[in-house]
Structure 1
Amino acid sequence: MIQKTFIVNGIERMLVVDDNAMLSDVLRGQLRLTGVKVGCAQGQCGACSVIIDGKVTRACVTKARLVDDYAAITTIEGLGTQKHLHPLQVAWVVHGGAQCGFCTPGFIVSAKGLLDANPNPSREAVRDWFQKHKNACRCTGYVPLVDAVMDAAKALRGEKTLSLDDNKPADGRLWGSSYPRPTGVAKVLGQWDFGDDRKHQLPPGTLHLALVNAKVSHANIKGIDTAEAAAMPGVVRVLTHKDVKGRNRINGLIAFPYTRGDGWERPILGDEKVFQYGDALAIVCADSEAHARAAAEKVRLDLEELPAYMSAPEAMAEDAIEIHPGTPNVYFTQPLVKGEETGPYFAREDLVVAEGEYYTQRQPHMPIEPDVGFAYVNSDGKLVIHSKSIGLHLHLLMVADGIGVKLEDMEAVQNPAGGTFGYKFSPTMEALVGVAAVATGRPCHLRYNYAQQQYYTGKRSPFFIKGRYVADKATGKILAAESEWDVDHGPYCEFGDLLTARGAHYWSAGYGIPNQRGEGRCVATNHAWGAAFRGYGSPEIMFASESLMDELAEKMGWDPLELRYANVYRPGDTTPTGNAPDSYALPEQIDLLRPKYKEALRRARENSTDAVKRGVGVAIGIYGCGLDGPDTSNADVELHPDGGVTLYDCWEDHGQGADMGSLGTAHEALRPLGMPPEKIRLIKNDTSKVPCSGPAGGSRSQVVTGNAIRLACEHLITAMRKPDGTFRTYEEMVEEQLPLRYSGTWTTPCRPTDENAQGDPICVYMYGLFMAEVAVTTATGKVQVEKMTLISDIGKINNKLVVDGQNWGGMAQGIGLALSEDFEDIKKHSSLAGAGIPYIKDIPDRMELIYVEPAREFGPFGAAGIGEMPLCGPHPAVINAVYNACGVRIRHLPAYPEKVLAGLRAQNK
């Protein structure tokens, strides 16, 4: 131990610190300055940034004992207050820089360090600064963060004023405006408490958990010895499968009778087999996380290793053993049968055929906040689970039997989530903390370190795809298409059937191709389990179909944009599932892009050299808003004495803006009452308080939950309306004994697809047209994206600030999917940097957004969703641009520099 004295946010603080304590732990644990966030704990994300004697420093890799006595330390808590925000904090709110908000304090503190040193930076200087200090954001695409710094700098120089009211609409109408998110101020102050912050709010006696994870990918479990671990300091219990009260399995909710398994493959705690690296085999429950982790290292595992199948082709081999005995490794098949037989078209010599094989990788979600949660048994005897879940009611259904608690005796609450991007559509730690709380009778808190975040949460399932098109060269019309796709879904089946079916839904989406045949297969492997990831199926299959469009265009001698124009949806066309599109705006989108595209091609030609070749690529990206077939959501609204209302819904927040989604929709629905937004209170994401709105996945929430909110509000307005058209007051409602709380329920007018993937599964879609401009350095093969353009058709916009942020962030993740992100090598890819997270200089500062807004018939006030479409098309646009630049066609993602370089060298042989 060592005594230290620091000047923290202007106050002298004496501390006694452990010799090996990191400054972040001292600030968070001993001073409760939880605005200092810890994400990677490896100095790779910058969420922990503080200023020490004028220098921006990453506190998670700085030992407290090495900081000078009387050093001046500034954290986010020292910058501003709710009544007196720092200009950087105001600018962050005004520009929508705080999406999930986890990286926000670190960015703002880092930006203060910049402006203290350079009060008049250029945009490039801001980008250089964030790159140098390793400030990473997974949500925003960085553009609004640079905008915020530039505006804050002007305010500090006295050149402009900044106010939280800057984006508030003059007419008071929120719908379609850039009204700031309700959670924005808390996030920029560092007061928006995430799961690891909330452990400080749990009662004395709370246990802290550590997992014993398997370090092999496939094995029989012969024994688990916990004796040495149980004797370690601070340890209360060491739990194994023998301590699980229930079935010890996650309910995979499979599609009967089509899936060839029972849906109960995933153990909560391993009992018979290890199915993937990282499987949890034991839980250490101790008085501190440090004690728990130390004890976890002492658990002894007796494992008999088995052959590990780390890809779909390996697991599909004839000599491969069944990963789940009794269930074939190929356990679900999805045909695609639309229109006439395709074979005769491909046999015709007067038509042009293009074909190819493609691969999309095991993309990691890489939220800056690793997975975290806690559970306890409340005073009513109910098990309450707090986590980052984006499917609260769904997850209770999936874990109840496994834990051994009746569904009616469980509740779930969503903690503020530092980004999920879909991985929390699957339960990750919910069952683990539930089991621990039931077994110990005490509150139990669990935080993954970043390696565990990488290897023990789901990933985007790799797709191995074969496809071909046949077209008429004169008209450009594609007459038939064929496809095959094998889905590497890891060892656990949950949602694998849905994902494989989505391959049929989005292969060649956007084009009215009348005749199609295809087959998708879902395959069990021993790599990381497959989880939902933004776009779920569309980014994978559309990489192939949009790459193949460019290959067909070249073979036919057509311009790639014009070939798309000849084939995009027009009245009379149908989607791959055989239903009519809900918008025919793609020709208009192409018309808007065409002059920009021609100008981009000109720039690329003029600015290309032998050393750096430039090119332009385009692609379409499409996704539906909803779960396949009938999809229902519920919301309630209640009138209060002050004339305001409370809205109750379970629209979970990945960080994408569920607060603004609910508020904007409710405010629009309540406009007849003239209600200001300040009088609409939100109670969200607690199953004990709100009705089931369904999971926040599939871009469904704005449409399905939005309609439920609309209906609830309309029912309230109807009850309040008097015969003369005026409205009753609260007092009049009470006097007339009218109910004060009203429910809204809305179900999509859809039918699920049949065995051939034909039906009407989704009633509202999103359509994006992407253009990428890239530079390829021929000496190294490195690809730099210099500009992205996206023309979006997402119906009527609820909140432009949120929508812009989703588009920028989605394109940034698409660039990562194209060029750098992967989770293949378990050890190499177990960190943010190792897995290829894009930092600010990897993402272009120029990302142009253009909107067309045809109203959707079934969307609330004409809206569609937004979250997933921006990641459905940027990566094929980038890859098509690489080919346009240098003639290298990358079909196996990511397009690492060595792959591009190998292609360039092959040209010279």
Structure 2
Amino acid sequence: MQRKIVYVNGIERSVVAEKSELLSDVIRKSLRLTGTKVGCGKGQCGACNVIMDGKLIRSCITKMDRVPDRAVITTIEGIGTPRDLHALQMAWMVHGAAQCGFCTPGFIVSAKALLDGNPDPSREEIRDWFQKYKNACRCTGYKPLVDAVRDAARVLKGEISMQDLAYKIPQDGKVFGTNMPRPSAAAKVTGSWDFGADSGMQLPEGTLQLALVQAEVSHANILSIDTSEAEQMPGVYKVVTHKDIKGRNRITGLITFPSNKGDGWERPILCDTKVFQFGDAIAIVCADTEKHAKAAAKKVKVELEELPAYMSAPAAMEPDAIEIHPGTPNVYYIQKIAKGEDTKPIFEKADVTIEGSYYVSRQPHLPIEPDVGYAYLDDAGKLIVHSKSIGLHLHLYMIAPGLGVEPENLVLIQNNTGGTFGYKFSPTMEALVGAAALATGRPVFLCYDYFQQQTYTGKRSPFWTTLSYAATKDGTLLGMETDWSCDHGPYSEFGDLLTLRGAQYIGAGYDIKSIRGEGRTVCTNHAWGAAFRGYGAPESEFPSEVLMDELAEKLGMDPFELRYKNVYRPGATTPTGQVPEVFSLPEMFDALRPKYEEAKKRVAANSTDTVKRGVGIALGIYGAGLDGPDTAETDVELNPDGTVTIFNTWEDHGQGSDMGTLATAHEALRPLGLSVDQIRLVMNDTSKCPNSGPAGGSRSQVLVGQSIRVGCEELIKSMRKANGCFRTYDEMVAEGIPTKINGKWTAPANDCDANGQGNPFCCYMYGLFMVEAAVEIATGKTTVEGMTCVADVGKVVNKLVVDGQIYGGMAQGIGLALTEDFEDIKKHSTLAGAGFPYIKQIPDDMEIIYVETPRPDGPFGASGVGEMPLTAPHAAVINAIYNACGARVRHLPALPEKVLAAMPK
């Protein structure tokens, strides 16, 4: 141990710590300055950035023996407070630069260090700085962050005032359709927004720290589990195994379709007979400290009989492959699509046919905040679980039977959450912390390190797709034939629904009269398939959008014009036979056309013998909802002081549900003349809020938004007097009129049939992407230099939020196209190893063009947005590579060696 004096945010502090202790732990745990976040734990994300003696450092890799005595340290808390914001913090708010907010303190501290040394940095200097100091953001696409630094610099130089920079509420008080910063923005930019690891530090004395014993092989029979040595280790309270779980010890996958050959009960909470994937949890060590828990976890002895591991769909479909779940075939669900006439004679008579085979990879979500949660029993004996769940009511029913808890005795609460991008649509640690709390009777806390985040959370399910088009000489699409395999990992949850997405989205956007195809869900031993932004569309629209370019080349047509010729117009139907709710695609293409023509000239003029440049486009479509009659509920309550409270479980994982709820409610409550401050939000606690459904499938703004609208309008009806005035709270009570209304809304849609035909979504989202890319001929390295998205997501509810969603989705599309993967468990277990795109891998030249077509079934005309930006930008990147250098990559990611190998020799 050593004692040091440090000056933190201008205050002298005395700290006693081991030499090897990390500065981040001292700041967070000893000094309780939790604005400094720990993400990757390896200095690769910058969330932990602090300034020490004038230099920017990553505190998660700085040991205390490298901290000088009397060091001067600045954390986010020393830069500004919610009542006294620094210019950087104000700029971050007004540019929407804090989405989930987990990386925000690290970025603002980093930007402060930059501006201290360079008061007027250019955009490229800002980007160079964030690249050098490994500041990583998964939400924003980086552009708003650079905008924020530039404007903060203007304030600090005196060019504009803080008042000039601050958001101004319009005179009419309107919120819907404005640039108002989200309600959580001030807390996020000042580091006072507590995430799960922060609130976990506020648990009572006696809270047990958890460590998992996890499988280090991908497939095995369990012969024995010996916890005896671990139980004798210092500080250990209990080692929990499957024997301690009173319920079924399974997480139900909620099988969607009757034709599924599995029963959905194959995923263990704690493995009992088998290991199905690397990282599967076998035991939980509960101890007084995390250090003691992890040390004891190493002493648990697990005897295994290793089995063949099928790490891809083709491997698991081999005739000699054993059943991963005995009694259930590895191919456990088949999805057909049959639209219009039989395609065989159409292909035989067509002027032109073309076929290609494609692979979309096991993309990792790569949030900056690792998975974290805790659980305890309340005074009434109910089990309370706090986590990053984005499906609170859904997860409650998925884990309750496995834990042996009646649903009414289980409460799920969402912590303030760093971006999940869909992986938390699946339960991850909810059942684990629940099992530990039940087995010990004590509060318990678990936070994954980044290796666990990578190896024991779900990933995008890869698709292996073969696709064919038939067309006339003039480019009219006549028919499509498809075959796709969904590698969904070992657990079935939502695998059948994901496979249905192939039927819904392969060829989406085009009027194709005849379609035949078949898809299948395949059980493998690689990472289980979890929802990921776009949920099936990136896997489905990649092959159809790349093959459109290949068809255009065969026809001698411009790929832009081929698409324009075939997009939805009145009389067209989707692949499921549904009539689109709006026909805005021609207008979107018309909006992009002049920019596309300019881009073609620009890439031709700027190509050289060593660097070839090209332009690529792709069309992306996505439905807002979870298929068929999807339903959401919201409670709306009039309070005694005349304010209104909105209760819902619109889970927020960075996309801005607080802003969506506030803006939609404010618009619906306009007749009451309420200000923003008179609308209160109570969100994401199943004991207080009705079931609004999970925050996935871009359903929330439509489904939850409509339930908010309905609830608010019903409250207004109840308050309205015969003379048109409104009753007060006291008058409502006196007349026996309920002051709390349940708003409920169900989508006017129906489920697809066995052939994939139906009207699954009432609202869709449309995105047209254009990419300008540069390819180094000697290496195959690709750089995206510019990106444009023409977006029709209905009426824009909040431009800051929607802009941020689109920028962030496009950035993830670049990662999916070029670098991101989770195939090699060891190599891809870190942010950098998995191909995380830092700021210099994402272009600063990003543009969004809105075509706002009001949706008949959207709240005040809005559709969803979150999935759309990742439907097809990766296809545009791949098409741009081909346009640049003639290299056609059909197997993602397009690593330099793949591009180089595909170049014409």
Residue 842, structure 1, aligned to residue 841, structure 2: yes
The answer for unaligned runs of 5 or more in structure 2 is none
Aligned length: 904
Q: Residue 594 of structure 1 corresponds to which residue in structure 2?
A: 593
**Equivalence map 1:131-530=2 (5 Å):** 131-163=131-163, 165-348=166-349, 351-474=351-474, 476-530=475-529
Cα deviations by residue, 1:473-532 (Å, 9 ceiling, x for unpaired): 12x210000000001000000000000001100010000100000100100000000000
> In structure 1, what is the Cα distance between the partners aligned to 2:160 and 2:355?
56
- Equivalent AA in structure 2 for residue 535 of structure 1: G
- Equivalent AA in structure 2 for residue 240 of structure 1: T
Q: Residue 551 of structure 2 corresponds to which residue in structure 1?
A: 552
> In structure 2, what is the Cα distance between the partners aligned to 1:155 and 1:779?
45
**Equivalence map 1:895-906=2 (5 Å):** 895-904=894-903
- TM-score, length-normalised on structure 1? 0.99
- Equivalent AA in structure 2 for residue 470 of structure 1: A
Q: Residue 571 of structure 1 corresponds to which residue in structure 2?
A: 570
> In structure 2, what is the Cα distance between the partners aligned to 1:642 and 1:877?
54
Deviates more, 1:209-218 or 1:252-261: 252-261
Shift in Å, 1:398 = 0.3
Deviates more, 1:291-300 or 1:438-447: 291-300
- TM-score, length-normalised on structure 2? 0.99
Asked whether the equivalents of residues 647 and 683 of structure 1 are also in contact (C-alpha less than 8 Å), the reply is: yes
> In structure 1, what is the Cα distance between the partners aligned to 2:125 and 2:169?
30
Deviates more, 1:552-561 or 1:160-169: 160-169
Asked whether the equivalents of residues 139 and 805 of structure 1 are also in contact (C-alpha less than 8 Å), the reply is: yes
Asked whether the equivalents of residues 167 and 178 of structure 1 are also in contact (C-alpha less than 8 Å), the reply is: no
Shift in Å, 1:762 = 0.6
Q: Residue 4 of structure 1 corresponds to which residue in structure 2?
A: 4
Give 3-state SS (helix, strand or coil) of 1:201's partner: coil
Give 3-state SS (helix, strand or coil) of 2:665's partner: helix
- Equivalent AA in structure 2 for residue 193 of structure 1: D
Q: Residue 876 of structure 1 corresponds to which residue in structure 2?
A: 875
Deviates more, 1:639-648 or 1:811-820: 639-648
Shift in Å, 1:641 = 2.4
Q: Residue 888 of structure 2 corresponds to which residue in structure 1?
A: 889
> In structure 2, what is the Cα distance between the partners aligned to 1:58 and 1:316?
46
> In structure 1, what is the Cα distance between the partners aligned to 2:212 and 2:348?
57
Give 3-state SS (helix, strand or coil) of 2:93's partner: helix
Give 3-state SS (helix, strand or coil) of 1:776's partner: strand
Q: Percent identity?
A: 67
Give 3-state SS (helix, strand or coil) of 2:411's partner: strand
Cα deviations by residue, 1:107-161 (Å, 9 ceiling, x for unpaired): 0000000000000000000000000000000000001000000000000000012
- Equivalent AA in structure 2 for residue 149 of structure 1: V
Cα deviations by residue, 1:453-482 (Å, 9 ceiling, x for unpaired): 0010000000000001010112x2100000
Asked whether the equivalents of residues 316 and 523 of structure 1 are also in contact (C-alpha less than 8 Å), the reply is: yes
Asked whether the equivalents of residues 550 and 880 of structure 1 are also in contact (C-alpha less than 8 Å), the reply is: yes
RMSD, aligned CA: 0.8
> In structure 1, what is the Cα distance between the partners aligned to 2:471 and 2:563?
12
Asked whether the equivalents of residues 102 and 368 of structure 2 are also in contact (C-alpha less than 8 Å), the reply is: yes
Residue 700, structure 1, aligned to residue 699, structure 2: yes
Shift in Å, 1:224 = 1.1
Q: Residue 718 of structure 2 corresponds to which residue in structure 1?
A: 719
Give 3-state SS (helix, strand or coil) of 2:162's partner: coil
> In structure 2, what is the Cα distance between the partners aligned to 1:394 and 1:737?
34
Q: Residue 125 of structure 1 corresponds to which residue in structure 2?
A: 125
> In structure 2, what is the Cα distance between the partners aligned to 1:162 and 1:482?
59
Shift in Å, 1:809 = 0.2
> In structure 2, what is the Cα distance between the partners aligned to 1:151 and 1:812?
23
> In structure 2, what is the Cα distance between the partners aligned to 1:699 and 1:256?
21
Q: Residue 44 of structure 1 corresponds to which residue in structure 2?
A: 44
Asked whether the equivalents of residues 785 and 843 of structure 2 are also in contact (C-alpha less than 8 Å), the reply is: yes
> In structure 1, what is the Cα distance between the partners aligned to 2:620 and 2:627?
19
Asked whether the equivalents of residues 168 and 178 of structure 1 are also in contact (C-alpha less than 8 Å), the reply is: no
Q: Residue 65 of structure 1 corresponds to which residue in structure 2?
A: 65
Shift in Å, 1:873 = 1.3
Shift in Å, 1:408 = 0.9
> In structure 2, what is the Cα distance between the partners aligned to 1:162 and 1:753?
53
> In structure 2, what is the Cα distance between the partners aligned to 1:875 and 1:811?
8
Shift in Å, 1:256 = 4.2
Cα deviations by residue, 1:616-662 (Å, 9 ceiling, x for unpaired): 00000111011111111000111112221110011001111000000
Cα deviations by residue, 1:508-562 (Å, 9 ceiling, x for unpaired): 0000100000100100000000000001100101000000000000000110000
Q: Residue 81 of structure 1 corresponds to which residue in structure 2?
A: 81
- Equivalent AA in structure 1 for residue 774 of structure 2: A
Shift in Å, 1:722 = 1.4
Give 3-state SS (helix, strand or coil) of 2:267's partner: coil
> In structure 2, what is the Cα distance between the partners aligned to 1:425 and 1:487?
18
Deviates more, 1:255-264 or 1:551-560: 255-264
Give 3-state SS (helix, strand or coil) of 1:3's partner: strand
> In structure 1, what is the Cα distance between the partners aligned to 2:97 and 2:390?
22
> In structure 1, what is the Cα distance between the partners aligned to 2:723 and 2:351?
68
- Equivalent AA in structure 2 for residue 81 of structure 1: T
Deviates more, 1:10-19 or 1:37-46: 10-19
Asked whether the equivalents of residues 720 and 728 of structure 1 are also in contact (C-alpha less than 8 Å), the reply is: yes
> In structure 2, what is the Cα distance between the partners aligned to 1:265 and 1:544?
31
**Equivalence map 1:801-840=2 (5 Å):** 801-840=800-839
Shift in Å, 1:168 = 2.8
Shift in Å, 1:169 = 2.6
Cα deviations by residue, 1:561-595 (Å, 9 ceiling, x for unpaired): 00000000001110001110111100000011011
> In structure 2, what is the Cα distance between the partners aligned to 1:450 and 1:656?
22
- Equivalent AA in structure 1 for residue 334 of structure 2: T
Asked whether the equivalents of residues 23 and 59 of structure 1 are also in contact (C-alpha less than 8 Å), the reply is: yes
Q: Residue 18 of structure 2 corresponds to which residue in structure 1?
A: 18
**Equivalence map 1:652-663=2 (5 Å):** 652-663=651-662
Shift in Å, 1:802 = 0.2
Shift in Å, 1:234 = 1.0
Give 3-state SS (helix, strand or coil) of 2:483's partner: strand
Residue 735, structure 1, aligned to residue 727, structure 2: no
> In structure 2, what is the Cα distance between the partners aligned to 1:369 and 1:35?
13
> In structure 2, what is the Cα distance between the partners aligned to 1:162 and 1:479?
59
The answer for unaligned runs of 5 or more in structure 1 is none
Asked whether the equivalents of residues 382 and 410 of structure 1 are also in contact (C-alpha less than 8 Å), the reply is: yes
Asked whether the equivalents of residues 167 and 177 of structure 1 are also in contact (C-alpha less than 8 Å), the reply is: no
> In structure 1, what is the Cα distance between the partners aligned to 2:398 and 2:125?
49
Cα deviations by residue, 1:49-97 (Å, 9 ceiling, x for unpaired): 0000110100000001221000100000101122110000000011001
Asked whether the equivalents of residues 615 and 879 of structure 2 are also in contact (C-alpha less than 8 Å), the reply is: yes
> In structure 2, what is the Cα distance between the partners aligned to 1:518 and 1:161?
61
Give 3-state SS (helix, strand or coil) of 2:603's partner: helix
- Equivalent AA in structure 2 for residue 174 of structure 1: V
Shift in Å, 1:753 = 0.4
- Equivalent AA in structure 2 for residue 129 of structure 1: W
- Equivalent AA in structure 1 for residue 526 of structure 2: H
Asked whether the equivalents of residues 9 and 75 of structure 1 are also in contact (C-alpha less than 8 Å), the reply is: yes
Asked whether the equivalents of residues 392 and 414 of structure 1 are also in contact (C-alpha less than 8 Å), the reply is: yes
Cα deviations by residue, 1:700-725 (Å, 9 ceiling, x for unpaired): 00000100000000011111111121
Q: Residue 28 of structure 1 corresponds to which residue in structure 2?
A: 28
Residue 664, structure 1, aligned to residue 635, structure 2: no
> In structure 2, what is the Cα distance between the partners aligned to 1:169 and 1:882?
45
Cα deviations by residue, 1:259-289 (Å, 9 ceiling, x for unpaired): 1011111000010001000000000001111
> In structure 1, what is the Cα distance between the partners aligned to 2:167 and 2:788?
26
- Equivalent AA in structure 1 for residue 172 of structure 2: D
Shift in Å, 1:167 = 4.7
Shift in Å, 1:225 = 1.2
> In structure 1, what is the Cα distance between the partners aligned to 2:232 and 2:833?
36
